[in-house]
Amino acid sequence: MALVTPGSVGSMVNSRQRAAIEMNAMEDQLNELDDIKVKTMFQMVEDVDISTGGLAIKKKFLFLTNKQAASFNTTNMDNVLQALELKESHFVIRLVPSVQGMAQFKGHQEMRGTIDEKYTMPPTLNEDDCNRTESQLVLFIKKCILPVAMQTRALILCGGANDCSLAVALQKVMGPVMERLGADCPFSIIGMVFAPEVHARAHEGLSSIAGQFAAQSKTWSRRFSDIHSCMVNKMGGGDESLSKMQQVDMNSACTHMICFETLNLKTQKWDVKPRTSFENTFIESLTQRLPSIVIQAQTADQGITNLGDIVRRKIPLLLLDNRERWPLLSRTENPKHCNDPCTQLAKDTNALETPDELTACHK
């Protein structure tokens, strides 16, 4: 057993003070480095290799702390666009986060068995109706978005997580096309995601898309333990904290991914203002240079106020209803306003026939 003397106690105190000073000095140096990076964009955008289905694809990745995100405005956003090394584009297609579809229901496994589970379920009549609804979105991307993207070398903006119906449909259609064309693919896809929503999947390591990004990103890796501590604290601590977090993963089709910290690590609270400010400025910088269209399906994750703002700025807005609304489309139910609007998909699936559940109710 070591003998403790007044001199040894003083030495221990001095060692702890020196360690604290050194840690503070290191933190100051890292903060200064972050400030320099924002000004020069030096090594802020990282090259990562993401493996999907055994095929490794190179992506551009930008992780922004709240302080960094708040540092960008209209005067220096061009630095970000240049650092991302985007291909020449002639058109911007913005897919606004669209929720309450099967993507959200499947992605948010943390909702299973809770009272919130029903709020993630899509507003469909039955399983067949649900499948038709999802098929309509995929067909819309394939028949409408893909040809335009190919012809205009479009820059597509979408949600970076796999709980947005439009983004998931985009991944299903565009992913194989991009893998086949490789460097010759004419369009680019930028996804935006915040670290807390994919943290649980990133914690799984290389088995998830988010885990692959986190493992290869020096910036995200440096903040990962602090984000983890904050998230565990917000979930009440304990071994079940990870299972309570959002269980969504990143969208593998995005050629460029921007991830926001979205947490105030000092107060241990959410702080979305820097992310919102950056997103608005980033999108505005693009839409001022190029013609654009905004597309919204299902429930608007960002609210009707955001859509109203898009209309006020005279940006074309398409509100997409991908359900076959049989009472409104059927000639027998609405003969004055309907002149055979049945789509080929509806004909193949008998979508305009009265659902069995409602037929049984009227017997």
- The 10s digit of each residue's pLDDT in 255-309 is 999 999 999 988 888 899 999 999 999 999 999 999 999 999 887 766 788 888 8
Pick the closest to residue 290 from 91, 5, 68 (CA basis).
Answer: 91
**What pLDDT sits at residue 10?**
55
Tell whether 361 and 246 lie within a shared domain: no
Confirm whether 296 is domain-assigned: yes
| Measured distance CA(153)–CA(107) in Å, rounded | 30
| Measured distance CA(226)–CA(10) in Å, rounded | 31
Pick the closest to residue 216 from 185, 183, 257, 164 (CA basis).
Answer: 257
Tell whether 244 and 263 lie within a shared domain: yes
Tell whether 48 and 153 lie within a shared domain: yes
Confirm whether 253 is domain-assigned: yes
Tell whether 217 and 346 lie within a shared domain: no
Confirm whether 29 is domain-assigned: no
Confirm whether 14 is domain-assigned: no
Residue 319 has pLDDT above 80, yes or no: yes
Contact between residue 158 and residue 251 where contact means Cβ atoms under 8 Å apart: yes
Domain count, the chain: 2
Confirm whether 32 is domain-assigned: no
Confirm whether 270 is domain-assigned: yes
**Tokens representing residue 10 in the block:** 């003083």
| Measured distance CA(215)–CA(50) in Å, rounded | 11
**Stretch 173-178: mean pLDDT:** 93
Confirm whether 12 is domain-assigned: no
| Band (324; pLDDT cuts 50, 70, 90) | low
- The CA-CA-CA angle for residues 259, 261, 262, to 5°, reads 115
Q: How many CB atoms sit inside 10 A of residue 103's CB?
A: 27
Residue 331 has pLDDT above 60, yes or no: no
pTM for the whole structure: 0.80
| Band (5; pLDDT cuts 50, 70, 90) | low
Tell whether 292 and 334 lie within a shared domain: no
Tell whether 231 and 285 lie within a shared domain: yes
**What pLDDT sits at residue 28?**
58
| Band (127; pLDDT cuts 50, 70, 90) | confident
Residue 330 has pLDDT above 90, yes or no: no
Residue 161 DSSP code: B
State the residue range of the domain holding 84. 43-323
**What pLDDT sits at residue 215?**
96
Mean pLDDT is highest, among 192-201, 303-312, 338-347, for 192-201
Residue 219 has pLDDT above 70, yes or no: yes
**What pLDDT sits at residue 202?**
96
| Measured distance CA(205)–CA(71) in Å, rounded | 30
Tell whether 356 and 266 lie within a shared domain: no
